[in-house]
Amino acid sequence: MTINTTHNCTEPQSNWIFVGVYSMVFMVGLILNLTALVVFFCYTKLWSHTTVYMINLAIADLLLVLTLPLRIYYHLGMHGLSQVLCEGVGLVLLVNMYGSIFLLTCMCFDRCVAVCFPMSCRVREGRKKAPLVCLGVWGLTIGASLPIYISKRSKASKEIQVDRCFGSFPVYATQTTAVASTLTVGFGIPLVVMLVCSWALIHAITRSAVAQTDLINSGKIQRMIATSLVIFLACFLPYHGTLALLYVHREAVPCSLLSVYHYSLMVACLNAILDPLAYYFTTETFRRKVDMDAMTRMFPLNSQNSEGNNSRAPVNT
């Protein structure tokens, strides 16, 4: 089945797969990312460069999961949501998704140069600019998305449309400018950077003299790097691959391809709960702070055991 316009595909609004997955991502992502932010802000006195990226990543993931209740409401079969509201929430989701992609890339690059060039003064000075880099990421994601949305929204308001909220064709995401920038700057370049940096990290670790001793577990570090890369690919490759196919077939889009697009977007949202597991909770200091501080404050009966352990240390990379 194909369509000649962007609104002729009809599919059931109620979908319990979307309801279940989005509900799980919302609840788990909310808990994990709020926990990360509480630990970073309340139990960490000194922030490392990676911690700055982690905080911004947690904020981006948190903002993403906060858009999901409206999607859950829609897929429960509820009506009354305006198309403008749906498009606005969808825009917020995409902005924060690409914010996460760029921040993950920055974290990977930061760790790579820190390991590969530990004695370089230029690298040390460059790493201190992490707050400015994060500010640039937010400016890039918001600044690149809003103009396309506003211009196309203004044009669409003059045309007769059928409002289908989150079940509609991704008009803004499939514009030529948007697709070109998304597939190159938004995904292609970050993917290449992460692949190169991951290879360089593994290469540096395996060739390190320290790795030949028992001081570090190089195998564990390699598994962590590989896991982070697999999560990145599993979450974002299906979405961007489907987006490219939608653009190629934009004149006559198969309804099945449109359904695949919505499922791939759902898979991309899983990144909001995988990021904390892969980054925040894999740092030893973070786990120690959660175990010894946050948990004892949640359960006051054990507070006597933690009175002597009130030192605050930066979250290590």
CA 298 to chain centroid: 28
- Residue type for position 200: A
pLDDT at position 11: 56
Residue 32, CA distances (Å) to 72, 192, 196 in order? 20, 28, 29
Q: Which residues contact 53 (CB under 8 A, 6 or more apart)?
A: 103, 106, 107, 110, 130, 133, 134
CA distance 91 to 101: 15
**Total of domains in the chain:** 1
Quick check: is 315 in a domain? no
Quick check: is 3 in a domain? no
CA distance 44 to 315: 7
CA distance 262 to 259: 5
CA distance 151 to 73: 28
pLDDT at position 225: 84
Evaluate if pTM is beyond 0.85. no
Quick check: is 2 in a domain? no
Quick one: the chain helix, strand, coil %, rounded to 5?
75, 0, 25
pLDDT at position 193: 95
Per-residue pLDDT of the chain (317 residues; tens, 9 = 90+): 444 444 456 555 678 899 999 999 999 999 999 988 988 888 777 777 888 999 999 999 999 999 999 999 999 988 788 888 888 898 899 999 999 999 999 999 988 888 888 778 888 888 889 999 999 999 999 988 887 677 666 555 544 445 578 887 787 777 888 889 899 999 999 999 999 999 998 888 877 655 555 555 667 778 888 888 999 999 999 999 999 999 988 777 888 888 999 999 999 999 999 988 877 666 665 656 555 444 445 444 444 444 444 444 444 44
Residue 141, CA distances (Å) to 144, 175, 300 in order? 5, 16, 42
Residue 126, CA distances (Å) to 104, 109, 195, 240, 249 in order? 17, 12, 21, 31, 43
Quick check: is 174 in a domain? yes
pLDDT at position 146: 80
Quick check: is 1 in a domain? no
DSSP 303: G
Percentage of the residues of the chain whose pLDDT score is greater than 90: 35
pLDDT at position 183: 93
Quick check: is 44 in a domain? yes
Residue 213 gets the label, from left (phi > 0), alpha (psi -120 to 50) or beta, of: beta
Quick check: is 297 in a domain? no
CA 93 to chain centroid: 10
Task: Compute the Cα dihedral for 93, 246, 233, 143 and give only its sign.
Answer: negative
Residue appearing with tokens 């308001």: 157
Q: Which residues contact 300 (CB under 8 A, 6 or more apart)?
A: none
CA 296 to chain centroid: 30
CA distance 103 to 154: 31
H-helix or E-strand spanning residue 253: strand 253-254
CA distance 74 to 72: 5
What's the longest Cα–Cα distance across the chain? Answer: 70
pLDDT at position 235: 94
For residue 3, give the 3-state DSSP assignment: strand
pLDDT at position 307: 40
Quick check: is 40 in a domain? yes
Domain span at residue 147 reads 11-292
pLDDT at position 104: 92
Q: What's the chain's Rg over C-alpha atoms?
A: 22
Residue appearing with tokens 């969808």: 90
Task: Check: CB of residue 239 under 8 Å from CB of residue 264.
Answer: yes
DSSP 254: E
Residue 42, CA distances (Å) to 45, 175, 248, 314 in order? 8, 43, 49, 11
Q: What is the CATH number of the domain that holds 117?
A: 1.20.1070.10
